[in-house]
Amino acid sequence: MKRRGFHGSARSTHKKVLLMGRSEAGKTSMRSIIFANYIARDTRRLGATMDVEQSNVRFLNNLVLNLWDCGGQDAFMETFFTSQKDVLFSNVEVLIFVFDVQSSDVQKDIEKYQSCIETGIMKYSPDAMIFCLVHKMDLIPKAQREMLFSKRKEELEHLSKPLKISCYATSIWDETLYNAWSKIMSLLIPNVGQLKLKLKKFADHINADEVLLFEKATFLVVAHHMRKEHNDANRFEKISNIIKQFKLSCNKMQSFFRSIEVRNSSFAAYIELFTANMYIMVVMSDPQVCSAAVQLNINNAKRYFKDTDQSGTQ
Amino acid sequence: MTNEVATLEVPEWSIAADSALKLEPGSRQLSASPSSASLLTNTSSNKPKILLMGLSKAGKTSIRNVIFHKMSANETQFLDPTHKIDKIDISNKSFLDFQLWDFPGKLDISHLRDKEDTSTIEKIFVEARVLIFVIDPVEEKHSIAIDRLHGTILEAYKINPKIKFEVFIHKSDSINEDQKIDNIREMTHRINRKLMTAGLQDRILISFRTTSIYDHSIFEAMSIVCQQLLENVLSPFENILNAFVSSNKMEKAFIFDLHPKIFIATDSSTFDMPTYELCCDMLDLIADMGCIYQEYEGGEERGVFSTCSVIKLNDTLLHLKQINRHLALVCIQLQQETACTQGIVDYNFQQLKHGIQEVLKVANL
């Protein structure tokens, strides 16, 4: 449900996200790591989700995710497709279906997925965005991962016709989790185009190699602009992962970090709290530029981004 | 790096140029006594050795991989058991220069003695400086582990009475603090009782530590073990760090060996585990970011080792400054002590770097 703002005051956009999949696929683990500051090892303690666990997660200033973590045990899934289906599947903005890549009964997974799509989404929320996550990829030897994922992706895309879906391979033990969720979140943010334009202007102005914006609590990449080619296409999610781990360590000591500066002879990276809800990362490779200058520029840019952060009505 | 800022007010507590970190008179004597220098001469045949022993599945190879080969802790479950003695040379990516011998769990030294294989036993223990015995504190294996430890200690002591013994009570991540202390107390008691029968309990010193690869305790334990290989330089390093900490009003300073995240020296203020963990996490972050952005021309080929980093937490500042290829200074400063003193810190750091390099030169490291 979207709400319009009145007289320029900010109203949050609420978006409903369904997290579904069979039992032990990893849905609650994912959600806990991304939104609840769990480290991967802590997720071992999680028990089975009973029925549906709803939570509201604020993302940036103007987006509230209404996250429905649906228990995967067969008994619950039965009710989802019968008595609860109208409550569950109406007004869905995003459906995330999680597949355990090492599932013992792939056929059943597919059946459940098909029921979701046919009896649920197509009927009650035909415009919903659909994401399929092939999870627990760390249990597959590296050499086989790409092939296995492509096969699954093809199969799922075929099954979901005529709806369009996006597929990602994920694991809680590396940065692939952040990749998938960053992509999902960036499609939900109301004013991301405006953010990107401003970011480009800023990057050009200060001659930065890259500029990234992260959401403050989850450290998912919200927007980025790069002015220089780089080999590693997965670096954004790696950085999300790295910084998030450091943030969690600081939390253990009841601290939080305000800024990080790392430099050596070939690059300098600055990560700073930028607005009330975002961190910025600036990467420069010109060794002549001193850190005080970059920090001054970042400080001065804050007020231009503050406006974007707080308006964002649609 | 920074070439702005004109006049620097020099507060009275900074180190003035001429009275800067001079090496204590004691450390100069390193060059005078040939015997101490030769302890550190590292020709490839007689590098100091650290032995890693214990029962099967105690965690020896995991420890080795997590610390020295940057394996993440959860990947160690896929490691195969060790079948023969693995001799690893650490000096490749690390400041520390020694050989680590990882023993298969099945190898029982006292059996070798029974088979009269004395030359093998000798080869193992001669030139060994530290023997680390790893114990998995699962109840059933306790007595077997203690027996094996007892046998090993006796054999080692026969060949080389100067070996230091360290016992790592491993896999302690799921145990709370009180239980850890109990474990240590129990182990100490049992081993000492056994040694008493051989009449050796006064002459053999064993240290017990609880460790785990899932937190930083294994790094701290290994740091203390490795420092025993560097006895000659520890004191001058500590003096230098003390001078640095007091003149810059730092809370704590460490000299870290970057690759294995082991600290080889620290100042005399109390060691605090959470602070150490924060420093290790900072090292992880910097190393990972360095890997990603490394490809913007390698500075390392040009022999320039200038990584530095400042992390501002809510009330403290963490500094990292690289000293040479393998070593870096990590120090912690309280927020209220900073106030425009970046230049002073940088200057004092140059003095520290110079001091460390002098010590290393004298010690032939």
DSSP β-ladder status, B164-169 and B128-135:
parallel
Which residue is listed with tokens 């609650």?
A28
Structure-model confidence comparison of residues A128 and B176, the more confident one: A128
> Whole-model pTM?
0.79
pLDDT at A3: 43
pLDDT of residue A2 exceeding 50, the answer is: no
pLDDT at B338: 63
Do B289 and A245 lie within an 8 Å CB cutoff? Answer: no
Q: List CB contacts of B111: < 8 A, sequence separation 6 or more.
A: none
What secondary structure does DSSP assign to chain A, as a single string? -----STT---PEEEEEEEEESTTSSHHHHHHHHHS---GGGGGG--PPPSEEEEEEEETTTEEEEEEEE--SHHHHHHHHTTTHHHHHTTEEEEEEEEETT-S-HHHHHHHHHHIIIIIIHHH-TT-EEEEEEE-GGGS-HHHHHHHHHHHHHHHHHHTTTS-EEEEE--TTSTHHHHHHHHHHHTT-TTHHHHHHHHHHHHHHHT-SEEEEEETTT--EEEEEESS--S-TTHHHHHHHHHHHHHHHHHHTT--EEEEEEE-SS-EEEEEE-SSSEEEEEEE--TTS-HHHHHHHHHHHHHHHHHHHH----
Do B312 and A265 lie within an 8 Å CB cutoff? Answer: no
DSSP β-ladder status, A52-59 and A221-226:
unpaired
pLDDT of residue A23 exceeding 90, the answer is: no
pLDDT of residue A255 exceeding 50, the answer is: yes
Tell me the pLDDT band of A131, cut-offs 50, 70 and 90: very high
- The DSSP output letter for B17 is S
Q: Are A40 and B75 in contact (CB under 8 A)?
A: no
Q: Is the peptide bond before A162 cis (omega within 30 degrees of 0)?
A: yes
User: Residue A249: its chain B contacts at CB < 8 A?
Assistant: 277-278, 281
pLDDT at B19: 34
pLDDT at A309: 58
pLDDT of residue A5 exceeding 60, the answer is: no
pLDDT at B40: 31
What secondary structure does DSSP assign to B128-190, as a single string? EEEEEEEE---GGGHHHHHHHHHHHHHHHHHH-TT-EEEEEE--GGGS-HHHHHHHHHHHHHH
CA dist B255 and B351 (Å) reads 15
Beta bridge partners of B321: B308, B329
Which residue is listed with tokens 């991962």?
A145
CA dist A282 and A213 (Å) reads 9
pLDDT of residue A219 exceeding 80, the answer is: yes
Interface with chain B: mutation pick from A260, A290, A296, A299, highest number of B CBs within 10 Å: A260
Q: Are B216 and B277 in contact (CB under 8 A)?
A: yes
CA dist A24 and A27 (Å) reads 8
| pLDDT tens digit at each of 365 positions of chain B | 333 333 333 333 333 333 333 333 333 333 333 333 322 333 345 678 888 888 888 888 889 889 888 887 877 877 888 888 888 888 777 888 888 888 888 877 777 767 766 777 777 788 888 899 988 876 667 778 888 888 888 888 888 888 888 888 888 877 777 877 887 788 788 887 877 777 766 677 788 888 888 888 899 999 999 888 888 888 889 999 999 988 888 889 999 988 888 999 988 888 888 889 899 999 989 988 888 887 655 445 555 677 888 888 888 889 999 988 888 999 998 877 665 577 888 888 999 999 988 888 888 76
Q: Are B205 and B192 in contact (CB under 8 A)?
A: no
Instruction: Collect all residues from A whose CB is shorter than 8 A from any CB in B.
Output: 40-41, 173, 209, 230-232, 235, 238-239, 242-243, 245-246, 249-250, 252-253, 255-267, 269, 283, 285, 290-292
Shortest CA gap B85–chain A (Å) = 28
CA dist B283 and B296 (Å) reads 20
In residues, how long is chain A? 314
CB contacts < 8 A, A to B, total 104
Q: List CB contacts of B46: < 8 A, sequence separation 6 or more.
A: B127
Do A255 and B315 lie within an 8 Å CB cutoff? Answer: yes
Task: Considering only CA atoms, give the Rg of chain B.
Answer: 22
- Alpha-carbon torsion angle A156, A160, A161, A167, nearest 10: -50
CA dist A126 and A117 (Å) reads 9
Shortest CA gap B321–chain A (Å) = 10
Q: Are A42 and A251 in contact (CB under 8 A)?
A: no
pLDDT at A11: 62
Structure-model confidence comparison of residues B29 and A92, the more confident one: A92
Shortest CA gap A257–chain B (Å) = 4
Nearest to B71 by CA among B332, B274, B265, B261: B261
Q: Are A117 and A152 in contact (CB under 8 A)?
A: no
A233 by Cβ neighbours in 10 Å (0-12 / 13-18 / 19+) ranks as exposed
Do B74 and A173 lie within an 8 Å CB cutoff? Answer: yes
Q: Are B348 and B248 in contact (CB under 8 A)?
A: yes
